[in-house]
Structure 1
Amino acid sequence: MNLQIENLSKTYSNGVQALKNVNLTIPMGMFGLLGPNGAGKSSLMRTLATLQQADTGSVFLGDLDVLNEKEKVRKILGYLPQEFGVYPKVSSYNMLNHIASLKGISSKGERKDLVESLLTKTNLWDVRNKSLGSYSGGMKQRFGIAQALIGDPRLIIVDEPTAGLDPAERVRFHNLLSEIGENTIVILSTHIVEDISNLCNNMAIICLGEVVVKGNPAELTQDVKGRIWKKAIDKTELITYQSDLKVISTHLKAGQTVIHVLSDNQPDPSFEASTANLEDVYFAEITARMETVSA
């Protein structure tokens, strides 16, 4: 079963065109949606989660019409938005039990088994009776995934799930997402390149509401192999290099500015070859898209 998105567009009342003819085929497993802030990622996620209507286009999950059969979609959808609130004085156990009831699981015994299973899976069992307001950021994110898994969803959408997590929590969250993605379509929307590289076999980069590239992360990285060059410069020289070369990214390292340049040939002997990674692909594609807009 695939999620098929065709010619999806959305313009808000203020005139901002958030989505422009988005076309994507998303298979079973982890799918990464990468892009800068304001790229249209959240607009796409909200549309897929039936929280807003698209202007044009179609979305099908198998035979299910996502845009026109919203109630059916919501029964098989798990959604973890970028920001979500919790009832601070309610325990995770009671909250999950309540959400399960709202999702139509009427059997008390069935709800009990489900809630206990989810709390164990998300490593929250030991704190199941603590109030949600006392949870750390990572614990709240794991609770968010637990509630998203209620009802055995066929599609799970997570929007910027690791923002603000410490390294240990991020690793645990990655492991949990990977496990979930073995039997479900999981869309991971983020601006953190490393998350996509570590978790996803398929991905797309979106910029200014348009899909600029899609495919397997390793294969996309192969496309820029041997074409990335780096050099440490003084920050006052940056403008000169940007005018003469295709500088795709800059990094501050040990007090110096390190630039990455995309070029088929070594720009000059002072540059050294850099091992290409997904971050280089991301910046190359975003830079090219922004140059096209400004031209």
Structure 2
Amino acid sequence: MQLTISNLSKTYSNGIQALKDVTLTIPQGMFGLLGPNGAGKSSLMRTIATLQEPDSGEITLGDIDVLRQKDEVRKVLGYLPQEFGVYPKISAEVLLDHLAILKGISNKGERADLVEALLKKTNLYQHRKKNLGGFSGGMKQRFGIAQALLADPKLIIVDEPTAGLDPAERNRFHNLLAELGENTVVILSTHIVDDVRELCTDMAIIHQGQVLLKGNPAEAIDAIKGKIWRKRIEKGEIEGYRSQYHVISEKMFAGQPEIRVMSDLQPDPSFEAVESHLEDVYFTTILSENSTVNEENYVA
């Protein structure tokens, strides 16, 4: 089964065009949708999840017309939005059981077995009696995945799932997502480059509602191999380097600014050749559209 998106566009009532003729084919496995905040990722996810209508375009999931057969989509969809609410004074076990009832799982014994299995799968079984209000951010995200898996979905959408998680919880969540992607179409929508690099075999970069690049992350990195150069500079010099070179990113290293430049040839002897990374692909793609990217906001 694969998800096919064709010529999808959406403009909100305030005049903001969130999606501009988006076309993507997403196969089974982990697919990364990478872009800065406000790029249109969440608008695309909500549309696929049947939570909003596009102005034009088509979406199919296998032989299901997503825009016309919403009930059929919801039967095979697992969705973890960027922000989701929980009842803080209800235990994980009780709420998951209640959500299973809403999903149509009426047999009590079947439901109990499923709830137990999902809590174990998400490493929450030992906390099953604990009220959700006492869960950490990572535990809430894992509970979100548990509820998304209730109906054995064929399509799973996770929107910014690791934002705000500490490194240990992020690793746990990565392991869980990697396991899910073995037999399902999983769309990981994120602004965190490392999430895509570590998990996904296919990806797209979206910015200002448009798909700028689609492909395999490793192949995208290879395409700029040997073209990335690094140099530490003094504070206050960045504008001069920007005017002279194709500076794709800057960050502080040991208290000193460090820039990365894309160039077919060594810019000058003071620059050092470095291994290309997916974040270099990301910045190069975004900046090629004459956009300004704030690395502090968009890269973990």
Q: Give me the TM-score of the superposition, normalised by structure 2.
A: 0.96
Query: Any residues of structure 2 matched to 1:24-35 within 5 Å, and which?
Result: 24-35=24-35
User: Is it true that 1:232 corresponds to 2:204 in the alignment?
Assistant: no
* Counterparts of 2:235 and 2:71, CA distance in 1: 54
Superposition deviation, residue 110 in structure 1: 0.7
Deviation at 1:274, TM superposition (A): 1.1
In the alignment, does 2:73 pair up with 1:59? no
Q: Which amino acid aligns with 1:280?
A: D
Task: Measure, in 1, the Cα distance between the counterparts of 2:235 and 2:217.
Answer: 31
The superposition leaves residues 168-218 of structure 1 with CA deviations (integer Å, 9 ceiling, x where unpaired) of 111010000000110000000000000100000000000100000010000
CA–CA separation in structure 1 for the residues paired with 2:22 and 2:274: 32
How far the C-alpha of 1:134 sits from its partner, in A, is: 0.6
For residue 11 of structure 2, what is the amino acid of its counterpart? T
Provide the C-alpha distance between the structure 1 equivalents of 2:124 and 2:61, rounded to a whole number of angstroms: 31
Query: Which residue pairs with 2:246 in the alignment?
Result: 246
Alpha-carbon RMSD? 0.9
Q: Is 1:209 equivalent to 2:237 in the alignment?
A: no
Match of 2:131 in 1: 131
Helix, strand or coil at the partner of 1:268? coil
Residue equivalent to 1:41? 41
Instruction: State the distance in 1 between where 2:291 and 2:49 align.
Output: 32
Identity %: 68
Name the CA distance, whole Å, in 2 between partners of 1:116 and 1:237: 58
Q: What is aligned with 2:258? A: 258
Give the number of aligned pairs. 292
In structure 2, C-alpha distance between the alignment counterparts of 1:291 and 1:100, rounded to whole Å: 44
Which residue of structure 1 lines up, in the alignment, with residue 296 of structure 2? none
Structure 1 residue ranges without an equivalent (≥5) = none
Aligned residue in 1 for 2:219: 219
- Partner deviation per Cα, 1:128-154 (whole Å, 9 max, x = no partner): 011000101110000000000010000
Deviation at 1:290, TM superposition (A): 2.5
Query: 2:122 & 2:272 partners in 1: Cα distance?
Result: 45
Q: In structure 1, what is the equivalent of residue 86 of structure 2?
A: 86
Mark the runs of 5 or more structure 2 residues left unpaired by the alignment.
293-300
Secondary structure at 2:4 match in 1 = strand
Question: Quick one: distance in 2 between partners of 1:138 and 1:283?
Answer: 28
Aligned to 2:14: 14
Counterpart amino acid of 1:195? D
Q: Secondary structure at 1:236's aligned position in 2?
A: coil
For residues 162 and 48 of structure 2, what CA distance do their matches in structure 1 show? 20
Q: Which amino acid in the other structure matches residue 59 of structure 1?
A: I
1:166-181 aligned within 5 A: 166-181=166-181
Tell me, in whole angstroms, the C-alpha distance in 2 between the residues paired with 1:22 and 1:151.
28
Q: Which amino acid aligns with 1:197?
A: R
User: How far apart, in 2, do the equivalents of 1:71 and 1:44 lie?
Assistant: 18
For 1:209 and 1:290, the matched residues in 2 are separated by: 14
CA distance in 2, matches of 1:27, 1:231: 39
- Partner secondary structure for residue 182 of structure 1: coil
Q: Partner of 1:52: helix, strand, or coil?
A: coil
Q: Which amino acid aligns with 2:128?
A: R
Q: Distance in 2 between matches of 1:223 and 1:208?
A: 23
Q: CA deviation at 1:234?
A: 1.2
The one-letter code matched in structure 1 to 2:206 is I
Instruction: Give the aligned residue type for 1:109.
Output: G
**Pair 273,72 (structure 1): closer, same or farther in 2 beyond 3 Å:** same
SS of corresponding position for 2:236: helix
1:278 is matched by which residue type in structure 2?
A: L
Alignment of 1:157 onto 2:154? no
Can you list the C-alpha shifts for 1:201-247, whole angstroms capped at 9, x where unaligned?
A: 00000010000001000000001000001100112110011111110
How many Å separate the matches in 2 of 1:97 and 1:176?
A: 21
Amino acid at match of 2:170: R
> 1 CA distance for matches of 2:136 and 2:255?
34
**TM-score, scaled to structure 1:** 0.98
- 3-state SS of 2:237 partner: helix
Displacement of 1:291 in angstroms is 5.0
Per-residue deviation at 1:167?
Answer: 0.6
**Which AA in structure 2 matches 1:200?**
C
Alignment partner, residue 297 of structure 2? none
Match of 1:281 in 2: 281
